[in-house]
Amino acid sequence: MALTMEPRVKHPILSLIALSLLIMPVQAAEDLRVAVEMPDMMKSHMLANMRDHLLTLSEIQSALAKGEYEVAADLAEKRLGMTSLESHGAAHMAGFMPKGMQEIGYNMHRAASRFAVKAQEAQVTRDLPRALGALSEVSQQCIACHAGYRLK
Ligand code: HEC
């Protein structure tokens, strides 16, 4: 009887250990993203751009929610689109990025400019689903780059 009871007493601890062993490999999962090295100044500049990208997406969404297509188009073109490239210092930063990363960045700017056109058209057509579809192509580029690259 004592022998059968003993494992029962230990059981909660053993199962905790077993559980933590199960969870650990997941937490320590290897980070397979390519680590990109750049000077500190450049890094903080890039991360500041990133935070502005996120803010811009949110501002675009709230403009769309209000049916302010022209505002959404303007935000996208000036802050994310091809027009934003210079103010972001993109040419300077691109030099530090691997080719694949540069391409995703370029695709994002192009997708944002395409969205800007669709949003302008929606001003007339009121075709919100089409504009949203174009906006999701922008965020897909954010996701693609974040999945593949990180800063060192
Ligand atoms: C060409 C690559 C690329 C694209 C495109 C990109 N990002 Fe990033 N982003 C990065 C990298 C690299 C980091 C740093 C991640 C790390 O080191 O873990 C980052 C970090 C961020 C951060 C964290 C900023 C901070 O202060 O830590 C935010 C927010 C962000 N990105 C938003 C966005 C949004 C929104 C988009 C799309 C509109 C976007 N990014 C597009 C590469 C990209």
Inform me whether the pLDDT recorded for 106 exceeds 80: yes
As for how many domains the chain has, the answer is 1
Residue bearing the CA closest to ligand 1, atom 6: 142
Would you say residue 90 lies in a domain?
A: yes
Query: For ligand 1, which residues put their CB under 6 angstroms from it?
Result: 47, 50-51, 53-54, 57, 80, 101, 104-105, 108, 138, 141-142, 145-146, 149-151
Which domain CATH number covers 141? Answer: 1.20.120
Strands 149-151 and 34-36: parallel
C-alpha of residue 139 to centroid of ligand 1, in Å: 11
| Helical axes 128-148 vs 40-65, angle rounded to 10° | 160
- d(CA 73, CA 9) in angstroms, rounded, equals 65
pLDDT tens for each residue of 42-69: 999 999 999 999 999 999 999 999 999 9
Q: What is the pLDDT of residue 1?
A: 47
Would 79 be classed as within a structural domain?
Answer: yes
Distances (CA, A) of 42 to 45, 67, 102: 5, 37, 15
- Rounded CA separation 114/33 (Å): 28
